[in-house]
């Protein structure tokens, strides 16, 4: 293991930050994510965290098997956000009062989302799903601000309302993205 990798492992341990260690060169997209508990020339022991920010367990790997280290990237920051906000992301979800009204249509749901400026995920009949904050609902179209899975602004788009197949009002991903979105709004 190289000096720079060792230094980054030491930094992650000292700062108590998540780190991803890649150990299988035949599957470079795989990694072990966690907090360094202890490391030496022979082994590295981590308290592992899954992609949802939940503790998985303790894992020890051979130091010599580490060929790449990832530290403080978007993916890791997203897992840290989930881990640091478990109650907001995984806590009990109360059904929004708008659903108590009984019959609700897709356009009404989009209008309510616009009023509350709540981030939603919608699935289109003509492509992928989109994380959006609805800015304007017209008779047959909607203007939305799009976000990627890391809560970063991904531009403004217009979609036909008839192309909306389904809407997710609140799930783990939308709550995490909305936390990032709200953090950025407050920082500006």
- Tens-digit pLDDT profile for residues 159-183: 999 999 999 888 888 888 888 877 8
SS3 content of the chain, % helix, strand, coil (to 5): 35, 35, 30
- Does this model's pTM top 0.95? My answer is no
Q: Look up tokens 């531009």; give the residue.
A: 155
Q: Note the pLDDT tens digit of each residue in 117-166.
A: 888 999 999 888 999 999 999 999 999 999 998 888 899 999 999 999 99
Question: Average pLDDT, stretch 97-104?
Answer: 65
* Cα-based torsion angle of the residue sequence 67, 63, 14, 77 in order, rounded to the nearest 10 degrees: 40
Rounded CA separation 110/7 (Å): 49
Q: Measured between alpha carbons, how far is 66 from 33 in angstroms, rounded to an integer?
A: 12
């Amino acid at each position: 293991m190289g000096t720079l990798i060792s230094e980054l492992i030491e930094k992650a341990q000292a700062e108590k930050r998540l780190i991803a260690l890649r150990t299988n060169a035949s599957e470079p997209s795989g990694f072990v994510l966690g907090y360094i508990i202890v490391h030496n020339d022979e082994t590295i022991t981590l308290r592992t965290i899954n992609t949802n920010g939940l503790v998985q367990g303790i894992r020890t790997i051979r130091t010599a098997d580490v060929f790449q280290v990832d530290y403080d990237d978007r993916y890791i920051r997203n897992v840290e956000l989930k881990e640091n906000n478990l109650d907001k992301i995984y806590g009990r979800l109360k059904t929004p009062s708008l659903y108590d009204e009984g019959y609700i249509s897709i356009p009404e749901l989009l209008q309510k989302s616009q009023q509350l400026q709540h981030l939603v995920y919608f699935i289109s009949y003509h492509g992928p799903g989109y994380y959006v904050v609805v800015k304007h609902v017209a008779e047959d179209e909607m203007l939305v601000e799009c976000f990627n899975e890391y809560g970063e602004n991904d531009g403004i788009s217009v979609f036909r309302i008839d192309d909306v197949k389904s809407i997710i009002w609140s799930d783990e991903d939308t709550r995490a993205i909305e936390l990032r979105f709200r953090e950025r709004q407050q920082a500006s």
